[in-house]
Every structure is written in structure tokens, then in C-alpha cells.
Amino acid sequence: MIHGLEQGRVFGDDQQAYSVWIGEGTCITHMALIHGPAYVGNGCFIGFRSTVFNAQVGHGCIVMMHALIENVEVPPGKYVQSGAVITNQQAADRLPDANESDRTFSHHVVKINQALRAGYRCADDGICATPLPNSASGNGSSNGTRAMHQNGQASHPLQADIVDTIRQQLRQGNHIGLEFADARRFKVGSWQSGPAIASTHEAQVLTQVEQFLTDHPSDYVRLLGIDPKAKQRQLEQMIQKPE
């Protein structure tokens, strides 16, 4: 949501005054709030349910989920982790630089949103809908349009509630693991171990979970939250059931 008021202005890149300025190539994800006066530069990513209020976010910044940026100027190219509260300039100046894995994650979300936008525009006019390259045909069924990885496999963008669960587990200091089972094994409760993700960097974890779902489209998949010190499971949650 973008909300502007009569009072308060920022200067856009064209040197004109605006309540809210959003730069080119910037992705504002669902349930994020940009409340004027606010400036968000080019090529930024503002994650799910994050808020930017009376603040400036420089070019190329990555803001993850549930973050609050208020009354500050975030320098270009910075990374704001999920759940961060940035309400003074000292905290904004100490933010780390965004790295390549952060940008890979944000670019992936942008591509998905672009595909969705194209789908919305075609909703009332089927003429503009064309098959995706390398898409399966002639099987008598259709699962709709999906984003594609470079290797031609359909991607599985994570739902917001799964992202929230992973974020909460990481904030609690837990590691993320995965288990899977085909239909036969699932009926008898015989799960197979998937990867235990060593990284605690949110963008990298989300990317690995998404890739695992892509690699196991016909399996049940369960997400694990693991306490690395006690080596005990703190969470078991089903995140995929085969169609």
C-alpha cells in the first residue's frame, strides 16, 4: 500500500516535490506500506509487511519482511533484515551492505510479480495469453502459468505464511531442515531426510527451501525447526502436499 498526505514532501529524482516517490525497478511486495513523506530509490526491494514512514531508502536497498524504517535516511545498497526496527540515523548508518544472495532472492520475487502482472492484464482478454517456452502440452490438463528457473523447471514461490514461519525460526536461533515422502511412505509415516540447511541467512534459507520444493514436486514436504544446541526439533510443519 502506498499512502500519501497533503503535508510533508520529498524530492524525487526529477527534483520535483512528492508525497511519495518510488524509483524505477523497485519491488513493493504485498502488505508492505509506504507512507508519505517517503522516498524509495531505484532497484529496491521492500519485503512483505514492512513499513517505510517519513523516511528515505537509497537506491539498491534490500528490506526484508516485517521491518520498520521511520524518520531516517538509509544509505544506498544497504540490507535491512527481517523484523528490524530502524528509527534512528545511527542504526541506519550501521546497516550492512546487501550481498549477491540477497539480490538474487529479490530479483526472483520481482520476476514472479512481473509474471503475475502479465496474467492480470490478460484476465479479460485470452488473446494475449501465449504458452511458456518449454511448457508441457497435449496432456489434457493445465496447472496455470508458473515462473521458470533457468533450467526449465517450474519454480515454487513460497507462501507468505511459510516465509513468516522460517523467519520466526531463524530469529529464535533455530536451523531449518526438510523431510520428504512419496505417497506410499507418507501413508505409513516414513519420512526421508532432506537437507539440514547450515546457513542462518534468511535470503539463502528461503532460496534453498524453494529449490527443494521445485526438486520434489510430487512429494509431501515437511519443514523442521531444529535447536542446534539441544539438537532437538522445535517445529514440524507440512509445507507441500502433491496435487
Kindly report, residue by residue over 137-189, the tens digit of the pLDDT: 333 333 333 334 444 444 457 888 898 899 899 999 999 999 999 998 898 88
37 pLDDT higher than 90: yes
31 against 117, higher pLDDT: 31
**Which pLDDT does position 9 carry in this prediction?**
85
* pLDDT of amino acid 240: 92
* pLDDT higher than threshold 60 for residue 135: no
Domain 154-243 sits in CATH 3.30.930.10: no
Cα separation, 54 vs 72, in Å, equals 8
| Confidence (pLDDT) at 111 | 62
Q: Which CATH class is domain 2-100?
A: mainly beta
Tens digits of residue pLDDT in 91-111:
999 999 988 777 776 666 666
Residues of each domain in the chain carrying CATH 2.160.10.10: 2-100
Query: Are the C-beta atoms of residues 77 and 97 closer than 8 Å to each other?
Result: yes
Identity of residue 156: H
